[in-house]
Homo-oligomer: A and B are copies of this chain.
Amino acid sequence: MKKSLLALAVLGAFAGAASAQSSVTVYGIVDLGFAHVDDGSAAGSKNGIDSGGQSASRIGFKGTEDLGNGLKALFQLEATIAADTGAAFNTATAATSGPNTGLSNNSGGFNRFATVGLQSAAFGTVLLGRQTSVIKDAYDQIDPFGDGGTVGAISSIFFNGALAGDFGRISNSVKYTSNSFSGFKANAAYGFGETVGDTGANSNYGLGLGYANGPLNVQFAYHNQDRTNAALVQTGENKLMLLGATYDFGVVKLHGAYADTKLEAPIGTEVKFRNYMIGASAPIGPGTLFASYSANDNRTVGDSDAQKFAISYSYDLSKRTNLYTGYSRTSNDNGSRIGLGGTAPLGETASIFNVGIRHKF
């Protein structure tokens, strides 16, 4: 991730003051593999080469400038790539303001990060722009499958499967992240709805608190999303709460999470969910095994729960390149339709098997 930066910093030792200004890092991931996908449709399954089996393929540009006195300026621009077809930057649905600000992959332009801000050794970091939500920041540390992938990421089932689509990334936002104090770290974010005449309409806010020290990592986060449709005189609030933890025993690292969600837009359509996840990651043989069991419990509508089991094995060819294989299976009750990052037919089971290569640059 920071190689070019490092290289140029080292270069600075030769070049003197001039190149000490150099700080654009071009980085990214290309993750491609064979995938057998059965989304539960009557038409059958699909074989292909898919992008993002372990991590979303992406390209980014970022940099840091030392301003002196413990202050740094930061920027980051990052875009998802559908590397199986090359599609990037160009989806019709651009990331705009409002309740749909947290668009998922391929939503046009630098859909993952577009930020600038300041980092202070004394006071923490403030970033403006489009960035991950506080609840995603927490989740990514707890999920055994980390930053995603089509097999493992439990964002496909938590919050009724809505994290990736609606709450993962927020445009028009400001986020504060504290420095770490004896392992404690807090963050808070606000995303403007940018609605004319009503500042609160369609805004998002989130609060997070974490403790990471030695083998223990505990993360708590809360996310609130206002949804206002002035034309229909409808309004509501979506509320998400997450508590998760990991503990590293060395031979195995255990992962667990609990979430509580209320989706309430428009008024009168309130639906409540609870989520549970237990998982493990462990060095086994020459690689690492990841596994998780997660559940979506619909507390408002009966016979509408879903369960997901995911397992994968990753083998490092280097620090930057690895091979992987994985399998996951999401089972739906008759009233649920959670698929593989999208929707499955009501009551059906969606599964995916893949084997691929991930290269970080």
Contacts and interface: CB of A to CB of B under 8 A. Distances in A.
A178 to B, nearest CB: 19
A196 B45 contact: yes
A113 B86 contact: yes
Interface stretch (A103-111, A137-145, A260-268, A302-310): A103-111
A30 B129 contact: yes
Contact of A81 (B59, B109, B118, B321): B109
B49 A174 contact: yes
A205 to B, nearest CB: 13
Interface string A5-46: 011101110110011011110111011111000000101111
Contacts of A358: 116
Most chain B Cβ neighbours within 10 Å, of A67, A86, A356: A86
A49 B114 contact: no
Contacts of A117: 357
A285 interface: no
A143 B139 CA distance: 48
Contacts of A113: 86
Contact of A318 (B50, B65, B83, B319): B65
Interface in A76-109: 77, 79, 81-92, 94-97, 101, 108-109
A196 to B, nearest CB: 5
A11 B6 CA distance: 11
B109 A318 contact: no
Contact of A3 (B21, B47, B87, B317): B21
A211 interface: no
A162 to B, nearest CB: 20
B30 A3 contact: no
What 4 pairs between A and B have smallest CB-CB spacing? A44-B197, A86-B114, A88-B109, A7-B19
Interface of A: 3-4, 6-8, 10-12, 14-15, 18-19, 21-24, 26-28, 30-34, 41, 43-51, 57, 59, 61, 63, 65, 67-68, 71, 73-75, 77, 79, 81-92, 94-97, 101, 108-118, 128-130, 171-174, 192, 194-199, 317-321, 356-359, 361
25 contacts: A6-B15, A6-B22, A7-B11, A10-B11, A32-B115, A32-B116, A34-B174, A43-B197, A44-B196, A48-B172, A48-B194, A63-B361, A68-B318, A71-B317, A73-B320, A77-B88, A79-B86, A81-B109, A81-B110, A81-B114, A83-B115, A84-B129, A85-B101, A85-B171, A88-B89
